[in-house]
Amino acid sequence: MNKHSFKQLHSFLLLWGSQTVSQLGTAMTDYVVIIWVYSQRGTASSVTLLTVCTFLPTIFFRFLAGSMVDRQDKKRIMLIADLVAACGTLAVFVLHSAEVLQIWHLYVINFLLSLMNAFQEPASFVAVSMLVPKEQYARVGGLQGFSGAAVSILAPALGALLLASGGLDLVLMIDLATFAVAFLVLLFLIRIPEPERQATEEEPFSETCLAGIRYLKDHKAILRITLFLAVINFLAKLGNDGMLSPFILGRTGNSQAVLGLVESFTAMGVLAGSLLATLLKPAKKRTRLIFIATGLVFSGNIIQGLTSRPWLWCAAAFGSYLMAAVMNVNMDILMREKVPVEMQGRVFSAKSTLQNFTIPPALLLGGLLADTVFEPFMAAGSPAQQALYGFFGTGKGAGIGLMFFIIGIAGMLVSFTRLRKPVYRELDRTETDALQKKGNGGNDHE
């Protein structure tokens, strides 16, 4: 990064670095809490229900949050959301220290944290757009993917180490310390500029809450790709994106070491994909790349479902999430380029709600299918099951492996068939292309 680029990104780099530190503390807590919950119940549904509580409020309150973000001070929203989230972590620490922590406490606290995330994410998205010049969007997207991957690599290893040496309380204390770093940097060192006030801000609040939906309705290609992502999220949460922990723990006899190893390779895949997105020339056919990358993501489900070897789980995780990072960075750039900055909070929130509303039912259904359908099916020992043993093995986790295989096939079909749909081509057009098309009378000869 040259000196000019550094000057352009100085405020962003401060925000990004401090938030990364905080995200590491939170990720360690999330990892250790999953281990704690699974050790208490030993069921896939107990883990997936915890994740459901992480998504529901974010989805339900996103419209409200997006409107507030576009009308209010982004920095203030981020500070308040972070402070309330820290109170949730502090509550877990107090309950566990008093030896009264129950699983339902974690469900309630995760619900609160998700509510704060509904406001924090769109505020952060718009804040980055305000801090960064357009020509740096690809680099910034890669840096954010890079830090997310680095956090995911370090969190399982550090979380397991801290859990072994000091228990859950030590992990929670470090999480609170990292929050303090991020909070103080944002409070004292970051100035987030505000866009010019728009006339729409005089509209009734209820009307502005729906502005993001109206924008998507008027921009069919963005709406269609958002609905595509909703289907992808549903399938992903039924597959290894939502069921990896119970699958690995079941197949390995509750081995935290193997789970941490696979999750680390998942993060290294995101790291590699983010580096590619940062260093390579931006794609001209961005939507085509998104669909191809998404299809390849689901190939990892097939590989993981068909094997019981940890090194193959790791290889599949690396390749899948490398493609996921490429897809996410390009989708992020697409939204920043196509949506006016004064609308980004509302449009981001509307898009996020639509594409993520399928996640909670998928997680609930995934845990239910694993515990009551696929796992019992693979344990029955009938001739049909015996024929599948050669592909998916036996014992705990074999049923989830069969689920992974089915989901992998479905995800690849959904993704690759989008390549033939011309509706998405307008998202790849630049402003120059649009002017040329207008000059030709609006004719499209593609």
- The alpha carbon of residue 426 and the mean position of all alpha carbons in its chain are separated, in whole angstroms, by 26
Q: How many domains does the chain have?
A: 1
As a whole number of angstroms, the distance between CA 39 and CA 23 comes to 24
Helix residue ranges per DSSP H, 280-370: 286-306, 310-338, 344-356, 359-369
Supply the CATH number for residue 58's domain: 1.20.1250.20
What confidence score (pLDDT) does residue 294 get? 94
What confidence score (pLDDT) does residue 445 get? 36
What confidence score (pLDDT) does residue 444 get? 45
Is the pLDDT confidence value at 208 over 50? Answer: yes
What's the pTM?
Answer: 0.69
What confidence score (pLDDT) does residue 415 get? 94
Percent of the chain whose pLDDT exceeds 90: 21
pLDDT-based confidence at 438, cuts 50/70/90? very low
Give the domain extent around 355.
Answer: 3-189+208-429
What confidence score (pLDDT) does residue 199 get? 46
pLDDT tens by residue, 125-177: 888 888 888 778 777 877 887 787 778 778 877 888 888 888 888 999 999 99
What confidence score (pLDDT) does residue 368 get? 87
pLDDT tens by residue, 14-67: 999 999 999 898 888 888 888 888 777 666 667 777 777 777 777 777 767 777
Is the pLDDT confidence value at 403 over 60? Answer: yes
> Once rounded to an integer, what is the mean pLDDT over residues 271-293?
82
* Tokens found for residue 209: 């809450």
Residue 73 lies in a domain: yes
User: What is the DSSP track for 372-430?
Assistant: IIIHHHHHS--HHHHHHHHHH-SSTTHHHHHHHHHHHHHHHHHHHHGGG-GGGGGGG--
Residue 197 lies in a domain: no
The residue with greater pLDDT, 439 or 109, is 109
What confidence score (pLDDT) does residue 195 get? 64
> Once rounded to an integer, what is the mean pLDDT over residues 338-366?
83
What confidence score (pLDDT) does residue 196 get? 61
Residue 412 lies in a domain: yes
Is the pLDDT confidence value at 94 over 70? Answer: yes
Is the pLDDT confidence value at 398 over 50? Answer: yes
Is the pLDDT confidence value at 411 over 50? Answer: yes
Residue 196 lies in a domain: no
As a whole number of angstroms, the distance between CA 150 and CA 264 comes to 9
Is the pLDDT confidence value at 303 over 90? Answer: yes
The residue with greater pLDDT, 297 or 349, is 297
The residue with greater pLDDT, 98 or 135, is 98
As a whole number of angstroms, the distance between CA 19 and CA 11 comes to 12
Is the pLDDT confidence value at 179 over 80? Answer: yes
Percent of the chain whose pLDDT exceeds 70: 89
Residue 440 lies in a domain: no
What confidence score (pLDDT) does residue 349 get? 78
What confidence score (pLDDT) does residue 442 get? 47
Residue 296 lies in a domain: yes
Q: List C-alpha distances in Å: 200 to 71, 211, 379.
A: 9, 9, 60
> Once rounded to an integer, what is the mean pLDDT over residues 192-206?
60
pLDDT, mean over the chain: 82
What confidence score (pLDDT) does residue 202 get? 55
What confidence score (pLDDT) does residue 302 get? 93
What confidence score (pLDDT) does residue 233 get? 93
> Once rounded to an integer, what is the mean pLDDT over residues 415-434?
75
* CB neighbour list of residue 28: distance below 8 Å, 6 or more residues apart: 155, 158, 159, 162, 171, 174, 175
